[in-house]
Amino acid sequence: DLLRPSPRDLEGRTVVVSAGPTREYLDPVRFISNPSSGKMGFAVAEEARDRGAHVTLVTGPVTLADPPGVTTLRIESALDLRDAVVAAARGADIVVMTAAVADYRAAEQAGEKQAKVAGDVTIHLTPNPDILAQLGAEKGARVLVGFAMETHAGVERAAAKAARKNADFILLNYPTREGTAFGGDDNQVTLVRPDGTHEDWPRVSKREVARRLLDEAVRVRRERVP
Ligand code: CTP
Ligand code: CA
């Protein structure tokens, strides 16, 4: 399906995409993270570029190379991701948050490697800022898209998230959908709107999910900015 030409419906528009995991360092050599590969976000960035958009991709540590023709910013922590995304989003028409943002970071990051001690240890974690919610609070005419992985009550939870964060829609995935999600080349998602209406999409390549995502974002934008 890569042979299908992309429409040029994002000519002159600005699209910001976040991708990959964040790393929350406990000390200089240890961190909390997750297995996000970045593939979904990179696919959105490449598809937006091919449709004519100026694209900024803000990514956590992943093995993928910078996509040609995309401004790629590499960050590690959720706080750095927030700073980069919020700055890039200022002039943006569409913001897509595929990043798997760690919900917590160490309350105090040790400056030196922490030696092992006898017995249990307790790590004090503090919540990271919710970047999508922050963008939603100052949304303007921007189209805001999120992703969510849920193990249960997916549609209900994703709709509640979209409403709380003022996102236009969330693409919902389940970790049990084989061959999709973390690390895979395909994805099978359900589009969920804040009002609870939803559409199941078939299992397709992440690039095809990116196409459909941007089709929907363009529709939302046309309704908002006729
Ligand atoms: N997100 C974000 N900032 C955070 C956490 C999440 O911008 N600190 C974004 C993600 O990039 C994603 C969406 O919010 O697009 C939903 O992420 P999710 O982890 O499902 O939402 P949470 O509000 O963290 O809910 P949960 O308690 O289920 O983890
Ligand atoms: Ca979370």
CA 128 to ligand 1: nearest atom: 8
Question: Residue 225: is its pLDDT beyond 90?
Answer: no
pTM: 0.96
pLDDT, position 44: 98
One DSSP character per residue, the chain reads -TTSPPP-TTTT-EEEEEESB--EEEETTEEE-----SHHHHHHHHHHHHTT-EEEEEE-S-SPPPPTTSEEEE--SHHHHHHHHHHHHTT-SEEEE--B--SEEESS--SSPPPP-SS-----EEEPP-HHHHHHHT-TT-EEEEEEE-SSSHHHHHHHHHHHHT-SEEEEE-TTSTT-STT-SEE--EEE-TTS-EEEPPSEEHHHHHHHHHHHHHHHHHHH--
Query: What's the pLDDT score for residue 184?
Result: 87
Residue 83 beta carbon below 6 angstroms from any ligand 1 atom: no
User: pLDDT digits over 188-224, tens only?
Assistant: 999 999 999 999 999 999 999 999 999 999 999 999 9
Residue 3 has pLDDT above 70, yes or no: no
Nearest-CA residue for atom 19 of ligand 1: 148
Q: State in words which class domain 14-104+123-224 has.
A: alpha beta
Is residue 23 within 8 Å of 101, Cβ to Cβ? no
User: How far does residue 8's CA lie from ligand 2's centre (Å)?
Assistant: 34
pLDDT of residue 183: 80
Task: Give residue 53's pLDDT.
Answer: 98
Mean pLDDT of the chain: 95
Predicted-assembly ipTM surpassing the 0.95 threshold: yes
Domain residue spans in the chain?
14-104+123-224
Identify whether the C-beta of residue 38 lies closer than 8 Å to the C-beta of residue 59: yes
pLDDT tops 70 at residue 49: yes
Closest by CA to 24, choosing from 81, 101, 77, is: 77
Q: Whose CA is nearest to atom 29 of ligand 1?
A: 103
Residues assigned a catalytic role: 34
CA 196 – CA 55 distance, rounded (Å):
30
* Predicted confidence (pLDDT) per residue in 53-103, tens digit: 999 999 999 999 999 999 999 999 999 999 999 999 999 999 999 999 999
